[in-house]
Structure 1
Amino acid sequence: MQATSLLKEVPKSSRPRERLAQYGEKSLATHELLAILLRTGPKDSNVLQLAMRVMNEFEDLHSLKMASLEELMTINGIGKAKAIEIKACIELGLRLAHSTQLKSGVITSTKTAGALLMQEMRDLQQEHVIALYLNTKNEIIKKKTIFIGSLNSSVAHPREIFREAVRFSAARIILGHNHPSGNPEPSEADLVFTRRMVECGEMMGIELLDHFIIGDQIYISLKEYGII
């Protein structure tokens, strides 16, 4: 058995899992990605060698995509289980390639946003902070509850809100939080928080379109209130 037949004998810096963790998936060669999927090699070779064997068997990724279970299983080290895993991974990749970001409506006005948040939050008994993440067309690409607080107060840090904005590649944000008392009049804390959100948004290039405070059958737009 050669010295490189066991993956543990390969330097850690050259192992695909460690390389992906350190440098990201785009830095890996195709056979390294395949090796992560295969996990283990046969007795006579390590998983990197097995992955290279698979890639050498087929001319290109298209040929690998079209390979049947039986064709995959002709490769030494690829049994039925690994062949099934390869086919499942290929199909998942194809479905991901054809996937699109789900959208939950479009915001066309302050009234549209206020009505949506009113419907969402009017019966809540605790304070909630909800963020609507929008694309450049003001389509809602994600709606997320950022915080649930006590009856009287809530604490939501801008970094939590903008972390999700970056994650979803949002261009704009609309915030809403409810006052369980039913009175939507903004507190000083509401105003300070909104100003911080505006400042953070300006620095990050992600606009805070509005911040709504939801009361009992009534809401206040802090944009219309003159805070944004």
Structure 2
Amino acid sequence: MSDNSLFKSILADTIHESANSYLIKELTDQFQSPQQLWHATEQELMKVKGIGKAKSRQIIAAVQLAKLILVPRAEQAVIRSPRDIFELMRFEIGMENKEFFYILLLDTKNKVISKELISIGSLNATIVHPREVFNAAIRQSAASILCVHNHPSGDPTPSQEDIQLTNRLAEAGKIVGIELLDHLVISGSDYVSLKEKGLI
């Protein structure tokens, strides 16, 4: 079964329709992939002819359940590589249509103490102040931190602003004695580690 057929089949089961029905065709014309459905609001779904409040809520509930299953619990995870950060955060922010900037606070054994949302931005930018980042880290007695944010554009290449922010955070970390270990930029199923690129 192709990905498209599977998508139609799951959607049909969710709202108790046939996969070949007019309603499923209308829905998949409007939302052509699971990624597009990921961000759909109740109001957007109800614009599709034949989708009322009950069916739109069924779809949103199924998407929320998928998010719960796919987004791993950060606390107690041990970070050994940039890939670990990516696997921890990819479903949380990889498909978002705004920039989300998180920090992961680590103990001395690189175990995640907590995950903190620092900023939500626009389509192509988010504003982050070192003060906010390190206040959270100091409050929770973190030994080190990791930064991670997404690029909704689909290109995880760090911008000049990303590099400058990373350098500012690394310098601030030296002053307060909390090392910035890495900064990951995630986009869809891809990522770039500024540490691996030699930018930290």
TM-score grouping bracket, smaller chain normalisation: 0.5 to 0.7
Q: Which has the higher contact order (CA 8 A, sep 6+)?
A: 2
Q: What CA distance in whole angstroms lies between the structure 2 residues aligned with 1:142 and 1:173?
A: 10
Residue number among 159, 170, 176 corresponding to 1:187 in the alignment: 159
Q: What CA distance in whole angstroms lies between the structure 2 residues aligned with 1:204 and 1:210?
A: 17
Scaled by the length of structure 1, the TM-score of the pair is 0.54
Q: Which residue of structure 2 aligns with residue 162 of structure 1?
A: 134
Superposition deviation, residue 121 in structure 1? 1.2
Tell me the amino acid that sits aligned with residue 187 of structure 2. G
| Structure 2 alignment gaps of length 5 or more | 1-73
Residue number among 115, 118, 122 corresponding to 2:94 in the alignment: 122
Q: What CA distance in whole angstroms lies between the structure 2 residues aligned with 1:103 and 1:147?
A: 20
Tell me the amino acid that sits aligned with residue 188 of structure 2. D
**Which of structures 1 and 2 has the bigger CA Rg?**
1
Q: What CA distance in whole angstroms lies between the structure 2 residues aligned with 1:175 and 1:103?
A: 15
Identity of aligned residues (%): 46
Q: What CA distance in whole angstroms lies between the structure 2 residues aligned with 1:225 and 1:108?
A: 17
Q: Does the 8 Å CA contact 2:82/2:184 hold for their aligned counterparts?
A: no
1:201 aligns with 2:187: no
1:150 aligns with 2:132: no
| Structure 1 alignment gaps of length 5 or more | 1-101
Q: Does the 8 Å CA contact 2:75/2:115 hold for their aligned counterparts?
A: no
Matched length? 127
Tell me the amino acid that sits aligned with residue 127 of structure 1. E
Superposition deviation, residue 216 in structure 1? 2.2
Tell me the SS of whatever aligns to 1:199.
helix
1:53-109 alpha-carbon deviations (Å, 9 max, x no partner): xxxxxxxxxxxxxxxxxxxxxxxxxxxxxxxxxxxxxxxxxxxxxxxxx94311122
Q: Which residue of structure 1 aligns with residue 84 of structure 2?
A: 112
Tell me the amino acid that sits aligned with residue 108 of structure 2. T
Superposition deviation, residue 215 in structure 1? 1.1
Q: Does the 8 Å CA contact 1:165/1:173 hold for their aligned counterparts?
A: yes
Superposition deviation, residue 139 in structure 1? 0.7
Residue number among 114, 136, 139 corresponding to 2:111 in the alignment: 139
Q: Does the 8 Å CA contact 2:104/2:116 hold for their aligned counterparts?
A: yes
Tell me the SS of whatever aligns to 1:177.
strand
1:37-186 map, 5 Å: 103-186=75-158
Q: Which residue of structure 2 aligns with residue 222 of structure 1?
A: 194
Q: Does the 8 Å CA contact 1:114/1:221 hold for their aligned counterparts?
A: no
Superposition deviation, residue 138 in structure 1? 0.6
Tell me the SS of whatever aligns to 1:173.
strand
Superposition deviation, residue 169 in structure 1? 0.1
Q: Which 4+ stretches in 1 moved above 4 angstroms?
A: none
Tell me the SS of whatever aligns to 2:173.
helix
- RMSD over equivalenced CA pairs, Å: 1.3
Q: Does the 8 Å CA contact 2:182/2:193 hold for their aligned counterparts?
A: yes
